[in-house]
Amino acid sequence: MFVSAQRQDAAHLGSEADLFIEAAAAAVSGGKRLRGRFCVAGWRVVEEASGPAGPAPADVVAAAASLEVFHAAALVHDDVIDNSDTRRGRPAAHRAMEASHRGAQWAGDAASFGRSAAILLGDLLVAWSDDLFEEGLTLAQPARAAAARGEYATMRREVTIGQFLDIAEESAFVTEPDERHAERALRVASLKSARYSIQQPLAIGAALSGADAAQSAALAAFGHPVGMAFQLRDDVLGVFGDERETGKPSGDDLREGKRTVLIAYAREALAPPARRIIDELLGDPTLDAGQISALQRTIVESGALERVEALIADYAREAERALSGARLGNAAVGELRDLARAATVRVT
């Protein structure tokens, strides 16, 4: 409905604007809807502390939808930064816009057009997210709307800083002592993913339900470790995942040169010559299947995968403890735990 309204508003702007709007619509399709689901779960777990909640109201639904639109924007920009070719089993937005340029036989460099268009596409999606979020808040109680707005603003700032730290890590790691690489990677995971994907969506939903300080604290103590486990699982999938399940080629994070906790642990365990080989191969977009397989084997044999799996389990236990004794709806807490498991125990 919201996207249909955007199509109608832009209908008089010409065929190029139509192309842009359709690219935005394609960017918001698909995915697990994880952030929206945690937003609704945050509302429900507080709401049901006082009795049966019923369906989520319109302001919560709008907030959940706005988070998914914002996430689409982040993915579009992320794929430009990482020079990724695919997203969710389809061409990444900049590649799709590049193909549109070629298909229309426009003048100029198609790849440059695709990147520029995708940056603007991400900006448009951020604007859509703001519009949708604020539209929903008009239906909320003023105090709750203000609290939710504050949590949303925090999320936006932190994920942007986290994204910058992520690209800085790829440049700065050569000047940092090896023992600090895992620490830096965990800091990026906290800001770029844990807070953004789980903790803040929960907080936004809870704010719209009028959560008190104790409830908010319990959800934050639950959401952050779940988010950390989620990101670490994503790191594992980025190296070992099945393309049919992840929508991206196996080993794609290795080609993109992502300095994850998994890579940091592997480097820590290796002797300098083997470490240099990893450093030379990591980030090479031309890595073939044999080189990917060799890197995967090295990571497993170093014990890094086992360490990350243990850390995921530790975060899951920390999250479980956080909900004990909190004044939250029992049935909704069960649903929240199920959602957390789905986010952190995924197919490889």
Tens digits of residue pLDDT in 96-118: 999 999 999 999 999 999 999 99
pLDDT in tens, 3-23: 899 999 998 999 999 999 999
Q: Is the pLDDT of residue 347 over 70?
A: no
Which of 113, 138, 163 terminates a domain? The answer is 138
Nearby residues of 47 by Cβ (< 8 Å), 6 or more positions away:
53, 209, 329, 332
DSSP string spanning 201-219?
A: HHHHHHHHTT--HHHHHHH
pLDDT in tens, 196-208: 999 999 999 999 9
Q: Are residues 123 and 193 both part of a single domain?
A: no
Q: Are residues 82 and 64 both part of a single domain?
A: yes
Q: Write down the mean pLDDT value for the chain.
A: 91
Predicted local distance difference test score (pLDDT) of residue 243: 75
Predicted local distance difference test score (pLDDT) of residue 12: 93
Q: Residue 165 corresponds to which amino acid?
A: L
**How many CA atoms lie within 13 Å of 261's alpha carbon, on the beta-carbon side?**
24
User: Distance between CA 43 and CA 47 in Å, rounded?
Assistant: 6
Predicted local distance difference test score (pLDDT) of residue 174: 56
Q: Do 115 and 94 form a contact (C-beta atoms < 8 A)?
A: yes
Q: In the chain, count of helices (H) and strands (E)?
A: 17, 2
Q: Can you give the residue range of the structural domain that contains 94? A: 1-30+58-138
Predicted local distance difference test score (pLDDT) of residue 173: 62
Which DSSP helix (H) or strand (E) runs through 48? none
Q: Are residues 237 and 329 both part of a single domain?
A: yes
Q: Residue 303 corresponds to which amino acid?
A: G
Average pLDDT over residues 147-160: 96
Q: Residue 263 corresponds to which amino acid?
A: I
**How many CA atoms lie within 13 Å of 242's alpha carbon, on the beta-carbon side?**
5
Q: Which of 251, 286, 4 is nearest to 128 (CA)?
A: 4
Q: Are residues 173 and 119 both part of a single domain?
A: no
Q: Do 121 and 17 form a contact (C-beta atoms < 8 A)?
A: no
Q: Are residues 102 and 176 both part of a single domain?
A: no
Query: In b/e form, how buried is each residue of 57-72, taking b as 16+ CB within 10 angstroms?
Result: bebbbbbbbbbbbbbb
Residue 104 lies in a domain: yes
pTM of the model: 0.91
User: Distance between CA 90 and CA 83 in Å, rounded?
Assistant: 14
Q: Do 53 and 332 form a contact (C-beta atoms < 8 A)?
A: yes
DSSP string spanning 4-43?
A: HHHHHHHGGG-HHHHHHHHHHHHHTSSS--HHHHHHHHHH
Q: Are residues 112 and 75 both part of a single domain?
A: yes
User: Distance between CA 162 and CA 164 in Å, rounded?
Assistant: 5
The percent of residues in the chain predicted with pLDDT above 90, rounded, is 72
User: Distance between CA 202 and CA 45 in Å, rounded?
Assistant: 9
Q: Are residues 86 and 157 both part of a single domain?
A: no
Domain count, the chain: 2
What are 1's two structure tokens? 């409905």
Q: Is the pLDDT of residue 348 over 50?
A: no
Average pLDDT over residues 66-71: 97
pLDDT in tens, 280-331: 999 899 999 999 999 999 999 999 999 999 999 999 999 988 988 778 888 8
Nearby residues of 234 by Cβ (< 8 Å), 6 or more positions away:
193
User: Distance between CA 31 and CA 71 in Å, rounded?
Assistant: 10
Which of 90, 115, 138 terminates a domain? The answer is 138
